[in-house]
Structure 1
Amino acid sequence: MSIMSRMNRFLSLTQGDAAYTFLPTGDVFTFKQGHFLINQLRGNAKDGSVNNIYLRIHTPNGPISYPLLGIHSGSSIFYHKKALQYRGTIAKISYTVTFRPVKNCWFWDVVLNGCAQSVDLVYGQDIGIAPENNIYTNELYTSQYLGHSIFNTKNGYIICSRQNMPADNCFPYLQQGILGAKAAHYSTDGLQFFGLSSKENNAPEALIGNLSDKNLQYEFSYTALQTERFALNGEKRLSFYGYFLPDHPDAVTEAEYQDKIKDAFLSSSETELCFQYINPVKIRKSFGMPFSSDSFLPEELNHFFPERTLEEYQDNTLLSFFTKDHTHVVTKEKELLSERPHGTIIITPPDQEQISSSLISSTQYMYGIFNSHVVIGNTDLHKLLSTPRGFLNLMKNSGQRLYVKINDTYRLLNLPALYEMGMNYSRWYYKLETDILLITSYTSVNAPNLTLDVSSVNGNSYDFILTSQLVMGTNEYTNPVYFSTSGNEFCFTLQSDVYPGLHYNLSLPECSFSASDDRIFFEDNAPFDESFLTLSISARSEFSVVIRGYLEEYEDIRQTTSFEREKQKGIEYYESLINHFCLIPKSDTEQVAILNETVRWYAHNAMIHFSMPHGLEQPCGAAWGTRDICQGPIEFFLTTQRYHLVRSILLNIFSHQDFLTREWPQWFMFDRYSINPGECHGDVIFWPLKCTADYLYASGDFSILTELIPYENGDLKDSLLAHIALALSNIVETRMIGNTGLITYAGGDWDDTLQPANDDLKQRLVSSWTVELAFQTFEALEGSLQEASKRLQNFADSATAISLAAKFKDLKLQVKDAFENILIKDGVIAGFLDCGQHYTHMIHPSDQITGIHHRLLPMTRSIIAELADADQAKCNVALIHTQLKCPDGVRLMDKPADYQGGVSHLFRRAEQAANVGREISLQYTHAHIRYIEAITKLGYASEAWDCLFTINPILIQHSVPNALIRQSNLYFSSSDGAYNDRYEYAQHFDLLKSGSIGVKGGWRLYSSGPGIYIRQLIQNVLGIRFSENGLLIDPILPEKMDGLKFCYSCFGKPFMFCYHIKSGKNTSPLKVFDGSQELAIQIQPNPYRSGAVLISRKILEQCSGLLDIYLYR
């Protein structure tokens, strides 16, 4: 067994507990103080660092920019333990830049010497200012909570940045400005500075003009300052500075600490230091700029994709399309318009009968990430390959990438002409001068194998270098990499007590190669990072790389395969998973085609959320949120009748119930790791109980109630009935507020941004939504347990079920009374109730505290739970229409929470987040889907149908004209108004209602939303759902869908449902025919309209499989 060494060639400067670490290239690796990481992205010797100082020389044709720092600058590097110095000459301008830390400051002292040039300087710095592990877990998330405040002083602009998400009760702070010159312009996010074009040309957009002078609070905190332009005649001195504090508890209201910064500057500015010359590090001349493909000509596109559907255009330019195999293809032109880079996650398709553990996953991006975040099993702790950082592909060492030698120069493959995504693969099309390279990465269907195929369409031979940044753990640069080799195969072993046999094999079948590390890039042939694996392959027209993952030491999962075979098996897997779902319109309609594609891709998304939890913007995961697993996955699998799998999930969930607290943690790892946060929100305890009742109703599997299940802690096993009884005792003793029927808010409810700011609020607040969910749970369990008492063989079990059913009935009545008599005031349901000395209704028209008057969640859940009466339900929908509905969907509240510099008063994240995204945007897609569920309960057919497309990414501009470009085949978790910051958001919130501001797609894929969306479409819009006793038919379709046919397997038998939708009234609003025979039906109760009809299993078994459904509207 050998060990690959981590990066260890550093130049370090320390000042107290601050450590500034540079590479010998002069690029920043990390700035740290204590356990806080001040910068965000770690540099590497090949790509450099994203921070820099640029000298711009202004010419009649525009500015020409030169970096002064790092590998791409050409500077000579000089080191002293107290400072680092860069020297060089550019266009007859000599320069010296000295970095020196002083106390909790740092200074970049710049000295320029020239003659008659017009110049300015641009300084850029990526910032994290959060605990190191928080940033490495998700740099996008930490940026969302990093609030910038801009002050225009006598020295120009000063940028003050405060991390509003506390760490160890601290709020880190960073101030940046200029001494000796005036900062004339600024920007605050890397999107402004580098721009989308940098994905193709590798150059910062901002350097061609002035910085934007806008405080953009997005997901890449990158502060930039631009000096005034000045005539360089002789010497010019100035300094850029950073001033860091571990804690700034108050909101930033001014540019403080000016005297301290000036004192620090003067304390060492005159010190003479004896510098040591650092031998230069140079990249070999055989490596050139990254390669971005030319676009395909129409005839080339038609050659590969002659049949296209749902084509997306902008200004006559093709952006994307789908194919008959349900693949999605994106052009380079669309990628350059998209803030979020196109990508996908592919996995080994999970078992459809039980929870799978031995699955492999890979995250792939259009910009030349052929594999990344490669992992078997736990998606946090078992990574083989690293995860990309940021969304602009600035650091090009992550994951697995490929260099190809073109005209004697190695070029890193970057943007392709086309990027094709299938259920279990990605393919990149690179157009060379006389050839096309196809790069295909795919997973096998029946084994945790990941294969990368590289081939030349014309059979031309090339030299390649495959690079892989190895992790073997959670994050890069953290764990040693243990490996062994045998022939052309590497074996990488994870050092784990939990999975002692876990390892990966990487091989190149029938292909010779030369293995090395990053030394191959540098003229001195010295490595910086031995864990950066490079494989050089000579003169090949095609080759393959196979990664096999093993959770156990002796698993044998080798198999011969091919891409076409695995692609077809992947298609067949998902067709089986969705019960061969197919909609056939009476005449061709775009919307029906959209739904056919959506069901397949959302099934793909849902299986990743369920079996290997993580996403594109949210690579951390590996756990089931208790609330999440009980919604998306279970609702999806009940809709597709995967009852064995639902049973397996329920048993796993109940095994994580804590015996001492009697409830479930907010989330838990569902494999061998016993990791959870040890706390939960007030609604969490109800979800496992609710989905147990849902499972019993659909499956009739009452034997699960006597299954013996362990607890999270201890060796005790109890029946599921006993687990339910234990949870009930917790609800009564700790969740209910006396006999009021009210339930404590505890740590929060579904909207994570509204977590209470202090412990007192946890006990005083009541969420109306949680109370409604409790009612729904109690009513469902009452009915299920009453039925169970008749079915269970053991008398004691039957008696327990009867007793529990009675207790749930009593609680249900208490909750109903509280809802009707306390939570509703003046006909409006309060979002919250403050149970202080007297009841105070919050998020209600009478609310004088928050200024927010309406909350979506209690209005929809009260209808879904059938707790609101018919009049209240109509009132709820009317308020949603007038107060919460926008062109891009319904919003969570009628205005955002107050933002006062990121300081919390009532709620945590809602008042801390500086970015207008995710739940802060108030259009959280999951909640919009629940709105669809509520209005189908009421029978609002046309609105429900339209709402399906408001949140559907495929050709979304056809439904939402102000929707901005986004990826079409992945679920987006929110629709975010394109505001720069929270203040602009609050001032111009009304633009969302009028559709006068663009809306962006939020984070992708990792959500329970895809599973819930499929359920709403099939069960509540198409109206096909199941119970133990038979098939429930209850379509809520608009009249324009008359003639629609729906193919779907029910109870293992293929059916086609033909919808005949007519206006007018009939004695029965719904009739079902098998040929000419009208089927016997049983009408089910619905408090708001005529309910579903039930066709018994016996009748269904005798049907032909072609059922005509007649609706009257």
Structure 2
Amino acid sequence: MKVKPNFEFLTFEKDNMVFKFLKSGDIFEILHKDIMINMFNGTFRDGSLNNIYLRIYEEDGIKIFPLMGGKSKGEIYFDSNSMLFEGSAFSLSYRVRFTLSNNCIWFYEVELNGKNFEVDLLYCQDISIANKNACLNNELYTSQYIDHKAINSSNGFVISSRQNQDQGGRFPYIEHGCMNEKVISYSTDQTQFFSSEYKKTGVPYLIDKNLPKENYQFELAYIVLQTEKMKIDGDKNICFYGIFREDYKASIETLKYKDEVMKEYLEVSKLKNNFKKVKKVCVKEEFLGEISSEKFTLSEINSIYNERNFEEYSSGNLLSFFTNDHTHVVLQDKEILCERPHGNIIINKIDNEKINNNIMTSTNYMFGLFNAQVAIGNTSLNKMMSVNRGLLNVIKNSGQRIYIKINNKFKMLTLSGIYEMGVNFSKWYYKFDEDIIVVENYILRDHTKIVLNVRSQKGIEYEFVVTNQIVMGDSEYNNGFYLNEDGNKIKITPLEESFIRSVYKNINYEIELFDCKFTMGDDSIFFKDGLTHDRSIITFKIDKSCTFSISINGSLEGESVCDDLSSLECERDKFNDFYSKLLNGFKLEGKSSKYDVSKLNEMVHFYTHNALIHFSSPHGLEQSSGAAWGTRDICQGPIEFFMCTNNYKMVREILLEVFSHQFIENGEFPQWFMFDQYNMQQDDSHGDILFWPLKVLSEYVLNTGDDSIFYEETVYRSFPLCNVTHKETIVDHVKRAISSIKNRFIGDSYLISYAGGDWDDTLQPINDDFKERLVSTWTMALAYETLNHLYLSLKDENLREEIYGIVIGIKECFLKYAIKDDVIGGFLYFNENNEIEYILHPLDEITGIKYRLLPLTRSIISEIVDLNQANINEKIIEDHLTFNDGVRLMNNTPKYNGGISKIFKRAEQASNVGREISLQYVHAHIRFIESMCKLGREEKVWEALYKITPIKLNDYVENANFRQSNVYFSSSDGAFNTRYDFHERFNELRNGDVKVKGGWRIYSSGPGIYISQLISNIIGIREVKDKIIFDPVISKTFEELKCSYKILGKESEILYKRDKDLKIKLNGEEINFICEKNIYGKEFMSVKKQILNEKLRDRENVIELFIV
């Protein structure tokens, strides 16, 4: 059966502006050319986030009535100019007329008629004002760049909003206000209006309260206006308006369009309509309900989980804990305390020797989203099911949902009482009506199969409806698909004309149902008219049953998948065993007055999972898009993870893949590229990207001694279509890269031009002049490190000599120019007189920022500076960049002026205090740890490590807000409402006087780097060619510390002991080692592999490391 999108819209179009209404009266989307005005597509069940709420004040409380859409009880009328919503609330009648006027201005005219009522109105509109594809790609990201400004006018507050990120040369603007009544308050984000409690209650938190009159610049832009209270005795007219401008170059200061709006309002008020009644699409009453779990008592929790670790409490209430099986359990109270919802991404097992695109993934959330973004292979283009939208479960048609019939009504399962997460599964417990419904969803380790099980603990039979929103491509509503039912199996394949089919001709998904009788259908089951209105929804109506199962198989090439469902427990144990082997049995035990190392064991397990997602199925909980490898990213997290765990075959495979994407024309590497059959990659890149493949190539050779990789042949790519070209050896690829580096030298120096930026993506230059005249000192230090290692790894004497000359030149230039008055400048700028100006330096009079973290740490890691300068760097970091929650990228915030860029793009455009803008980017904090390991700063290293380990984070970061404890957070964000607040109160953040929040989760190279630093530089076990290096950095708070780890494939226990001299014992026998030092004087021990191989037993080895 061929299925294609089938929406019938009530449409208004004028001056390139389009409003599309569903026949429920809800807005589906608002467009201006390619710009999507609203954030979320409206749906028949959930309605639109756009609405007007009538609030009637009575002695027994406030009564709320939505006036538009499916949630309204009123009728709908339509003509070519306007839409009319008409109905009554008690004895008060209302009419709302929507009209799209000229010049991208629209009005909602509200007429109220009644006697002796006290009321006010809430006007609500979600906004993205960004390119439609960008919004569908990630609505949270687009919202981070919308600048809101509340301006007081004669009719109270008007909210003006500007999209600060360039949308094809434009900066869209939108304004909302009231024409004839006073707006006394407002809010600007969904998290204010709905709040986290909405996930349980299904009721917006502020629906019956006064709005906060606060501008919260977060990730879900949502304008809500509150009028003053009005007495209704007869007729009352209130008119709200919106105005859109495609391009608004300046920052928002005043209201520019009052006259235009008034002119159109006067015209619209005269408009005569010829309305016809619309047959309104209504959801059946039996499907309107939702049900969240009752809270579980402690005794009930004890009966399920009798062994609990790392218990987290608030006000005496248990919030979360971990189990002995590497699972994390979250209770409902904690979910409500968290701004970001608890979620989990599951994938099947990677092949740890070669790149495998046959990876199945699914995302789920505690609030009753059981499968979302189900995909085989490419997570952006191969999606079977849609992604979650937003953070609050407001739009509930995404992914896979379950309705349960209770008291003759089907209710959607929303927030569970207990949510359990393992690396390959999630489990939900719902308690109500003396029964507990358990839902579990897991993926098989060795197969691309996901299994959902639902059961009643008391064996009570229920009817269920399971909904599935099918995408079969990039985004919902964009693609059709074939649907073929064969018994209890349903096969889903893309249409012949689809993009996905042009690349993967045999890709398919298969859903299979077990242990139940069911009827497959569409969304017509929900509607009073019995018709289908959204063909993207597939439903399974399940007859009375106390248990049922659904499996989803994915296949790239049409191959068959195993029929075995296995079990959650069996597959959990398989995954835990696989992860343990991948980590060489890594486990810490020890006693410390300050640090509980069992937290690190748990985090290493979950961070391994995060790292493998980043590597094999690139996406995250907030960043659902991905699918590609960032060249910089793949060369850090994944490669460092596989290097530190001695999975060298995989490192080699990754290197060959990366080099196959190098551009033949200029020797550069793309910023990102697809690593599957989609031939896509970015044409340009930041200035540091070129060095990362060279860096990890040389480190691979130095660690393994495998220089044969230099003579392996691989292809290039060619502009502009990424066509594959002829093959050359890796050493030839290196030569092209070296030529590109030399072309980037400024003048006759060895200073390297900034090009498109460096690691901090927010500091991309606004003009091309900066690209050529700016130098990143961090990139210089990285270049020195990279080329120095490359020189050491090569055998080609001519190439070595050429590279050595560059290495010496870079170091001389760095020491001569980058350091001024003992401080490394963040950037060097060659002005028109060819004089150097220092930016992000005490001499900087442009930005007001004096210190930048990245060159201070990288110059130590790379060893380009001596011990004296390293100590100065350390002191600067301690005095100016160290905060209660970690080290920050700079000592002050970049100036924000309404989103107008003067020097840098995103740093001056983002209105939200999050991610890199928050300045505590965890990736950079880990690199700080690496630099302190170089200097042997034991206490700083361990303190810094625990500040970014999220299990019971408040033990080490007292001002940390609650957040999910088993996932990597990319940043620690100060809890500031606006950038202005952030700048003014920045120093309060330093000492922990302001709360900090967790940023985006999972999708980062950070987890791999974290594990690499822990194993290689903190616990200090590294394999280098013919020797094993023991180079620990252990806090003196440890009375004892033991690390279980396989050394040369042999199970070993490494015991760390303090002594006055360095010494190593293996199984009680003292063995020979070489005492070595880095350039900063830190001593470490190295042992020849030959000695270890002779003396290591197959198992139960004890290595005693005596450290000073």
Q: Are the aligned partners of 2:754 and 2:775 in contact in 1 as well (CA < 8 Å)?
A: yes
Residue identity in the other structure for 1:980: N
Q: Are the aligned partners of 1:48 and 1:70 in contact in 2 as well (CA < 8 Å)?
A: yes
Q: Are the aligned partners of 2:510 and 2:554 in contact in 1 as well (CA < 8 Å)?
A: yes
Query: The residue matched to 1:737 in structure 2 has which SS?
Result: coil
- Which residue number in structure 1 is paired with residue 259 of structure 2? 259
Query: The residue matched to 1:608 in structure 2 has which SS?
Result: helix
Q: How does 1:198-277 map to 2 (within 5 A)?
A: 198-277=198-277
Could you tell me how far apart the structure 2 residues matched to 1:719 and 1:979 are?
52
- Which residue number in structure 2 is paired with residue 804 of structure 1? 799
Q: How does 1:884-895 map to 2 (within 5 A)?
A: 884-895=881-892
Could you tell me how far apart the structure 2 residues matched to 1:1075 and 1:730 are?
52
Could you tell me how far apart the structure 2 residues matched to 1:327 and 1:972 are?
18
Q: Are the aligned partners of 1:1041 and 1:1061 in contact in 2 as well (CA < 8 Å)?
A: no
Moved more, 459-468 or 581-590: 581-590
Query: The residue matched to 2:849 in structure 1 has which SS?
Result: coil
The answer for unaligned runs of 5 or more in structure 1 is 790-800
Per the TM alignment, residue 283 of structure 1 is displaced from its structure 2 partner at its CA by 1.8
Residue identity in the other structure for 1:472: M
- Which residue number in structure 2 is paired with residue 813 of structure 1? 808
Moved more, 292-301 or 384-393: 292-301
Query: The residue matched to 2:28 in structure 1 has which SS?
Result: strand
- Which residue number in structure 2 is paired with residue 535 of structure 1? 540
Could you tell me how far apart the structure 2 residues matched to 1:581 and 1:320 are?
25
- Which residue number in structure 2 is paired with residue 726 of structure 1? 736
TM-score, normalized by length of structure 2?
0.97
- Which residue number in structure 2 is paired with residue 625 of structure 1? 630
Per the TM alignment, residue 555 of structure 1 is displaced from its structure 2 partner at its CA by 4.4
Per the TM alignment, residue 1085 of structure 1 is displaced from its structure 2 partner at its CA by 3.2
Query: The residue matched to 1:990 in structure 2 has which SS?
Result: helix
Query: The residue matched to 2:1072 in structure 1 has which SS?
Result: coil
Per the TM alignment, residue 15 of structure 1 is displaced from its structure 2 partner at its CA by 1.2
Residue identity in the other structure for 1:964: N
- Which residue number in structure 2 is paired with residue 774 of structure 1? 783
Could you tell me how far apart the structure 2 residues matched to 1:212 and 1:475 are?
35
Query: The residue matched to 1:208 in structure 2 has which SS?
Result: coil
Q: Are the aligned partners of 1:1060 and 1:1108 in contact in 2 as well (CA < 8 Å)?
A: no
Residue identity in the other structure for 1:277: K
Residue identity in the other structure for 1:9: E
- 1:1086 matches 2:1078: yes
Residue identity in the other structure for 2:472: M
- Which residue number in structure 1 is paired with residue 67 of structure 2? 68
- 1:756 matches 2:756: no
RMSD: 1.2
Residue identity in the other structure for 1:153: S
Equivalent residue for 2:1068, pick from 1076, 1091, 1097: 1076
- Which residue number in structure 2 is paired with residue 113 of structure 1? 113
Q: How does 1:981-1020 map to 2 (within 5 A)?
A: 981-1020=978-1017
Q: Are the aligned partners of 2:516 and 2:547 in contact in 1 as well (CA < 8 Å)?
A: no
Query: The residue matched to 1:452 in structure 2 has which SS?
Result: strand
Deviations 1:571-615 (A, max 9, x none): 111111111111111479762121010000000000000000000
Deviations 1:290-317 (A, max 9, x none): 1100111122111110000000000111
Could you tell me how far apart the structure 1 residues matched to 2:285 and 2:123 are?
28
Q: Are the aligned partners of 2:380 and 2:625 in contact in 1 as well (CA < 8 Å)?
A: yes
Deviations 1:253-277 (A, max 9, x none): 1111100000111112111111010
Could you tell me how far apart the structure 1 residues matched to 2:182 and 2:230 are?
10
Q: Are the aligned partners of 1:196 and 1:392 in contact in 2 as well (CA < 8 Å)?
A: yes
Q: Are the aligned partners of 2:449 and 2:561 in contact in 1 as well (CA < 8 Å)?
A: no
Residue identity in the other structure for 1:178: C
- Are residues 1111 and 62 of structure 1, via their aligned partners in 2, closer, same or farther at CA, if it must alter by over 3 Å? farther
Q: Are the aligned partners of 1:1072 and 1:1107 in contact in 2 as well (CA < 8 Å)?
A: no
Could you tell me how far apart the structure 1 residues matched to 2:290 and 2:242 are?
33
- Which residue number in structure 2 is paired with residue 605 of structure 1? 610
Moved more, 172-181 or 523-532: 523-532
Q: How does 1:390-405 map to 2 (within 5 A)?
A: 390-405=390-405
Deviations 1:117-151 (A, max 9, x none): 11110111000111110100000000000001111
- Which residue number in structure 2 is paired with residue 954 of structure 1? 951
Per the TM alignment, residue 559 of structure 1 is displaced from its structure 2 partner at its CA by 3.7
Q: Are the aligned partners of 2:109 and 2:240 in contact in 1 as well (CA < 8 Å)?
A: yes
Deviations 1:745-768 (A, max 9, x none): 000000000000011111110000
Query: The residue matched to 1:948 in structure 2 has which SS?
Result: helix
Residue identity in the other structure for 2:804: K
Q: Are the aligned partners of 1:5 and 1:529 in contact in 2 as well (CA < 8 Å)?
A: no
Residue identity in the other structure for 2:513: L
Q: Are the aligned partners of 2:402 and 2:467 in contact in 1 as well (CA < 8 Å)?
A: yes
Q: Are the aligned partners of 2:1066 and 2:1103 in contact in 1 as well (CA < 8 Å)?
A: yes
Query: The residue matched to 2:514 in structure 1 has which SS?
Result: coil
- Which residue number in structure 2 is paired with residue 686 of structure 1? 691
- Which residue number in structure 2 is paired with residue 716 of structure 1? 726
Q: How does 1:465-504 map to 2 (within 5 A)?
A: 465-494=465-494, 495=498, 496-504=501-509
- Which residue number in structure 2 is paired with residue 156 of structure 1? 156
- Are residues 4 and 343 of structure 1, via their aligned partners in 2, closer, same or farther at CA, if it must alter by over 3 Å? same
Per the TM alignment, residue 432 of structure 1 is displaced from its structure 2 partner at its CA by 2.3
TM-score, normalized by length of structure 1?
0.97
Per the TM alignment, residue 458 of structure 1 is displaced from its structure 2 partner at its CA by 1.8
Could you tell me how far apart the structure 2 residues matched to 1:905 and 1:99 are?
40
- Which residue number in structure 2 is paired with residue 784 of structure 1? 793
Query: The residue matched to 1:781 in structure 2 has which SS?
Result: helix
Per the TM alignment, residue 459 of structure 1 is displaced from its structure 2 partner at its CA by 1.7
Could you tell me how far apart the structure 2 residues matched to 1:652 and 1:555 are?
28
Q: Are the aligned partners of 1:363 and 1:371 in contact in 2 as well (CA < 8 Å)?
A: yes
- Which residue number in structure 1 is paired with residue 721 of structure 2? none
- 1:578 matches 2:583: yes
- Which residue number in structure 1 is paired with residue 374 of structure 2? 374
Deviations 1:833-873 (A, max 9, x none): 00122111110000011111000000000000011110100
Could you tell me how far apart the structure 2 residues matched to 1:46 and 1:288 are?
8
Residue identity in the other structure for 1:1103: L
Per the TM alignment, residue 493 of structure 1 is displaced from its structure 2 partner at its CA by 1.0
Equivalent residue for 1:765, pick from 737, 750, 774: 774
Residue identity in the other structure for 2:767: N
Could you tell me how far apart the structure 1 residues matched to 2:945 and 2:779 are?
25
Could you tell me how far apart the structure 1 residues matched to 2:205 and 2:597 are?
41
Residue identity in the other structure for 2:888: R
- Which residue number in structure 2 is paired with residue 21 of structure 1? 20
- Which residue number in structure 2 is paired with residue 792 of structure 1? none
Could you tell me how far apart the structure 2 residues matched to 1:814 and 1:901 are?
42
Per the TM alignment, residue 486 of structure 1 is displaced from its structure 2 partner at its CA by 1.5
Could you tell me how far apart the structure 1 residues matched to 2:337 and 2:810 are?
50
Query: The residue matched to 1:1043 in structure 2 has which SS?
Result: strand
Per the TM alignment, residue 482 of structure 1 is displaced from its structure 2 partner at its CA by 1.8
Deviations 1:372-429 (A, max 9, x none): 0000000000000000110000011000010111122111010111000001000101
- Which residue number in structure 1 is paired with residue 166 of structure 2? 166
Equivalent residue for 2:1096, pick from 1082, 1087, 1103: 1103
Deviations 1:618-646 (A, max 9, x none): 00100000000000000000010000111
Number of residues paired by the alignment? Answer: 1092
Deviations 1:876-899 (A, max 9, x none): 010001101000000000111111
Residue identity in the other structure for 1:454: V
- 1:595 matches 2:600: yes
- Which residue number in structure 2 is paired with residue 737 of structure 1? 746
Q: How does 1:33-44 map to 2 (within 5 A)?
A: 33-44=32-43
Q: Are the aligned partners of 2:1063 and 2:1107 in contact in 1 as well (CA < 8 Å)?
A: no
The answer for unaligned runs of 5 or more in structure 2 is 719-723
Could you tell me how far apart the structure 2 residues matched to 1:802 and 1:673 are?
39
Could you tell me how far apart the structure 2 residues matched to 1:578 and 1:92 are?
69
Q: Are the aligned partners of 2:435 and 2:457 in contact in 1 as well (CA < 8 Å)?
A: yes
Per the TM alignment, residue 737 of structure 1 is displaced from its structure 2 partner at its CA by 1.7
Q: Are the aligned partners of 2:447 and 2:561 in contact in 1 as well (CA < 8 Å)?
A: no
Identity across the alignment (%): 43
Query: The residue matched to 1:19 in structure 2 has which SS?
Result: strand
Could you tell me how far apart the structure 1 residues matched to 2:781 and 2:877 are?
18
Equivalent residue for 1:860, pick from 831, 850, 857: 857
Could you tell me how far apart the structure 2 residues matched to 1:487 and 1:1093 are?
65
Could you tell me how far apart the structure 1 residues matched to 2:15 and 2:781 are?
54
- Which residue number in structure 1 is paired with residue 825 of structure 2? 830
Q: How does 1:1026-1065 map to 2 (within 5 A)?
A: 1026-1062=1023-1059
Moved more, 274-283 or 983-992: 274-283
Q: Are the aligned partners of 1:1058 and 1:1106 in contact in 2 as well (CA < 8 Å)?
A: no
Could you tell me how far apart the structure 1 residues matched to 2:793 and 2:1039 are?
36
